[in-house]
Each structure stands twice: as C-alpha cells, then as structure tokens.
Structure 1
Amino acid sequence: MPKSAFTTTSTVLALFPCLLSVSLLAPVAHADTAAPVVIGHRGAAGLAPENTLEAVDRADRAEIDWVEVDVQRSKDGVLVLMHDQDLVRTTDARTVFPGRAPWKVDGFTMAELGRLRAGASREWTGSGYEAARIPTLEQLLDRLDRNDQGLVLEVKWPANHPGITQDILRVLDGKGWLDGHHVNNRLYAISFQAAALKEIRARRPDIRLGICTEQEPTSDELASYAKFADVINPEHHTATAGLVNRAHALNSPHGKPLKVWPYTVNTSAEARRLRDQQVDGFTSDVPDLMRKELGQ
C-alpha cells in the first residue's frame, strides 16, 4: 500500500485502523489516546542537513511519510530550499563568497548557490553529509515522487520574493503535483503570512493550506484562519488543549475540522503531552524518535 494517502505503512496498518487520510487528517488509534501524524521538519533536520535531499531520504528510511521544507527564490528566479533569509548558518557561503555579505538567498544565482555545501556546518563534520547541496524545488518533487512521500511546503519570506506563490504553482504544475492525486493526498502549503496563502487559495482553492503562528491565537483569530486554512501550525509550547478544542470546533474551507499541527517537537515528554491533547500532527527534527516514542 502506498504511503501517500496519509496512511501508515502496511506494518502499522496491521496493528491500527486505517483512519489516516489527507482529507480528514484523522489520527491513528493509539491505546487510550490518538497518535498524531509525525512530519519531518525541514526534511529531518536532526538526521541530516536541513532542507536537503539527504534529509528527505533519511526521513524516508525512517518511514516518515510526510516532510516539511522551506522554499525561497534565487536571484535568477529558481525556487530553492532554504529556511533563513541568508546563507550563513547553513552553508559555507562566507568562505566561498567572502566579499558578498550579507549573503542573502536572493542575492545569488542558482549556479552560485550550487557551489555551496549545505552540510558545511560543524555539526555535520564526519557525518558523511558534508557535501550535501542546496536542492531546487523541482529536485525535491522528483525525490518525493521516488520516495512516495507527501509534502508540507512552507512559503518562506514571501515579502522578499514578490510573485513567489505563482512561481510555486507553476513548478508544482510542471512536475505534475497539481493533479488530483497529489493535491488530494500528498500536498499542503503553509506560511506565516496569510496573504501568501490567500494568493494560493485564489488560484487553486483545492490545495490545502496551513497558517503558522508564534502565539496562541484568540478565538476570533482562529475563526478568521478557518476561512482560508485547513490547518493551524502553532509553536508547540502554545498548543494547549483549549486551542485544540477551539480549532476542532471550526470547519475549514474543505468542510473538515480545523486541524492542529504544532512545530517543532523534539522531546518525548512534549510528544506525549501533545498526543494526550489530541493534536492531529506535529513536525519534528527527529521524527524517527518521536514515532518510536508514540509507538508508531
């Protein structure tokens, strides 16, 4: 059975009811509480350099069916995976281009970005990932199709990249990711910027969307989010039982309860707390450990 329809692997299906679907995002039964879907954060940022194909593959080897990544645009218009506004933390840009401060992502062409090592930071020394590179969105989509994984695509810093939502839709379409199978089973777009999500909603109302927040939203804010979003992605410390209950009481544009996917959960205690509060899913840098903790 493919992993793409927000289902678990065949081994898990032998143990739990087949309740996961991308339309419902219903958690699989787990003892007395529900087990949230574990999503690899920036691929699997604790297992390999973030936002790289290597991180996506590590998530796949850990049987993580969904990964979240960040997308920005290069100087010459290529969509690439990168979280920060600059290249300093995650690459060797300072060494390769010493005179190009402040090393903004959109200040470099794709050819220049291709010279950088995304595994250059000290934490990956000796890991075998030192040569990891910055992938394009097209390369990512090819890899996800090969791995049969789902994508949670964060539109990062959209104000820095006017028109990026149209570019994203163009690339998704060119790679066949706007067909019914991908849109219904394997794709979410998320952002901290509601305007970017509303742009996507206006062009492709069938795509499921998630709004990221740093503070626990008020009931009025939740109601406004439910008008265009299917998921709320709060910072994990702000994900309370009250928030989950208030979100689940609202219907999203696709007629299902507004789901709650906190970010970024890396400890056993937090994973158990959020499971007990019945969140629908969460992202993690170490998704393999979180799945093991939850007995998945």
Structure 2
Amino acid sequence: MFRRLGLVLPPLLTLLVVTVPATAASRPVVVAHRGASADAPENTLSALALASRFGADMVEVDVRETRDHALVLMHDTTLTRTTDAESVFPRRAPWRVADFTLAEIRRLDAGSWFGRAGRGQRVPTLREALRAMSGSGLGLLLEIKEPRLYPGIEARVAGELRRAPSWPAAGRLVVQSFDWGSMRRFARLMPSPAIGLLGTPSAADLPALAGFAGQVNPPYQDVTPEYVRLVHRHGMRVFAWAVDDPGDIQRMISGGVDGVITNRPAVARSVLQDDASRRAA
C-alpha cells in the first residue's frame, strides 16, 4: 500500500477494474498516463498514489534498464529532463539511463523539476512500484521503452512480474511497447498478461497481430469509430492515448474505445460520469 511507503494520503478510493470482451465494454477504463502526471512528477510513487485518489482504474508506467540491469520507471532515454543528473554527475553526459547503476540513480531527485512540492521524489524501481500499488485496486499498463537498447529486458520484466504473482493472476496487467517484435517475444515468455501494441496497425496487419496481442493502443488523433470497430472484430481492445481535453475524451467515448490514457484522470472520470448521466436521463 502507498501508506507503507510513507505517502500520507486520504483513504484510497475503492476502484473496480473490469475485464470485458473487446466488443462489450460498458465504459472506457481510465488509465493515468505515467501516473497522474499533470499534477505530480511523472513515473514517481506520488504520481501513482495521486492516480488512485483521482479515480483512475489503471496507471501507465514506462520501464527502462540501468547499467546493472535494474528495472526503473523512466520515460526518456536520458535522465536529464526529469532528474538532476546533470548537476549530480556533471561529467557523465549524455546521462543515458543505461549508463548509470541503480545506486547512482537512487541519488537523483526526480521531482524538483516539476515544482517545489515534488522535491525529494526518487526514481522508483518496478518492484517498488508494484509493491506500492499492491492493494490499491489499480491495474497496471506497463510500457517497455525501446527494448532494442536493453537486450533481454523482456525476460527480466517477466521475471519481476512473476515475483509479484498477484498481478498476472488478477487479470489487471497489460504489457505494451511500440516494438511489436518485442511484444511477440514477451508473449512467448509470459502469456498471462494481455499484450498491447502501441501505434496504429493497418487493417492488413491486424489478423496476424491478434494472434498474440489483446490490445491496439493508438494516439487518439488516429482513432475513428470505424477503426475501433475493425480492431474489435479481431478480438482486441483499443486504448487511446494521451487524451486530456474533455471534448476529445468525449469523442473517444462516443467512438467506442475501451480505455482512455490520460495525464488528467480526474478530468476523464468527470467526463465519464457526465456521459453516464446523460445516457441514463
């Protein structure tokens, strides 16, 4: 639980993550992009905790690998945008995640760039994030970033997830990447999580991809009702990213998506509630 890690929060909302067939979603799942990243430093434990408070169903996190093969939450190839690596290690340009050990990365501040309230946040490991989320009711959408840079990362992610067996068993876990070949390899290593493919596959590609993937997750600008129906016909779900504007969120709902990936989960939850009220009236 987040409280065990020293994060002082109001009682967590009781959340329900429903696993439904691709063609029968009653409402889209709200996925907090890098946690509640509009209101907390992305990919930190505070962003995950805030996602829970804001009513997200799932959180999306980005995973990369350190020089000593630790799995850490970090979106960028380098540490410069979201940590103080340049000042702590001034001679280590270009500050690639893969060039630092976990012990070195633990020295970095991963929150001050976001504002004073984020000061002192650290880069969490995947294991720490899984432990923090345990019991929160949140599902997890785990993106493996640029797997070509970290040969064998699929096996190491699978191994970490096996050490947290409640995740694959609960049906609340999706592993995704822009690298569809990596996701095919991951599916062979660990068939229990759903596999997500980032991007917008062509109609011709969908039959083969449906053989190992359960989701197609395109940028929201590419989403049309016709494309959603096409993906659904192949038995896969559609999670659109990263959509923050209420009008765009409503368009995704009307278009039949199964999930909205957003930096503002509280806004998405409000739009969903308004939409449900209109349908019930």
For Structure 1 versus Structure 2, the TM-score category normalised by the shorter chain is 0.7 to 0.9
By how many angstroms is 1:267 displaced?
Answer: 0.3
TM-score of the pair, normalised by structure 1: 0.84
2:179 to 169, 193, 205: 193
Contact 2:218-2:239 at 8 Å conserved across structures: yes
Aligned: 1:41 with 2:38: no
Q: Residues of 2 paired with 1:149 and 1:233: CA distance? A: 19
Q: Residues of 1 paired with 2:242 and 2:43: CA distance? A: 15
By how many angstroms is 1:178 displaced?
Answer: 5.7
Q: Residues of 2 paired with 1:189 and 1:93: CA distance? A: 28
By how many angstroms is 1:195 displaced?
Answer: 1.4
Unpaired stretches in structure 2, ≥5 consecutive residues: 1-12, 275-281
1:125 to 115, 118, 121: 115
Aligned: 1:22 with 2:6: no
Aligned: 1:95 with 2:87: yes
Q: Residues of 1 paired with 2:39 and 2:169: CA distance? A: 32
2:193 aligns with 207
Q: Residues of 2 paired with 1:206 and 1:171: CA distance? A: 14
Q: Residues of 2 paired with 1:148 and 1:294: CA distance? A: 19
The one-letter code of the counterpart of 1:22 is T
Aligned: 1:226 with 2:207: no
Q: Residues of 2 paired with 1:266 and 1:83: CA distance? A: 19
1:3 aligns with none
Unpaired stretches in structure 1, ≥5 consecutive residues: 1-8, 14-19, 29-34, 251-256
2:242 aligns with 264
The one-letter code of the counterpart of 2:103 is A
The one-letter code of the counterpart of 2:220 is H
Identity %: 36
**When the two structures are aligned, how many residues end up with a matched partner?**
261
Deviations 1:143-201 (A, max 9, x none): 110423111100111001000010011111122246523xx2x2110010111111111
1:116 aligns with 108
Q: Residues of 2 paired with 1:116 and 1:108: CA distance? A: 11
By how many angstroms is 1:137 displaced?
Answer: 0.5
Aligned: 1:175 with 2:164: yes
1:107 aligns with 99
Aligned: 1:145 with 2:131: no
Q: Residues of 2 paired with 1:60 and 1:147: CA distance? A: 7
By how many angstroms is 1:24 displaced?
Answer: 2.7
Query: Which portions of structure 1, spanning 4 or more consecutive aligned residues, are displaced by more than 6 angstroms?
Result: none
Contact 2:144-2:176 at 8 Å conserved across structures: yes
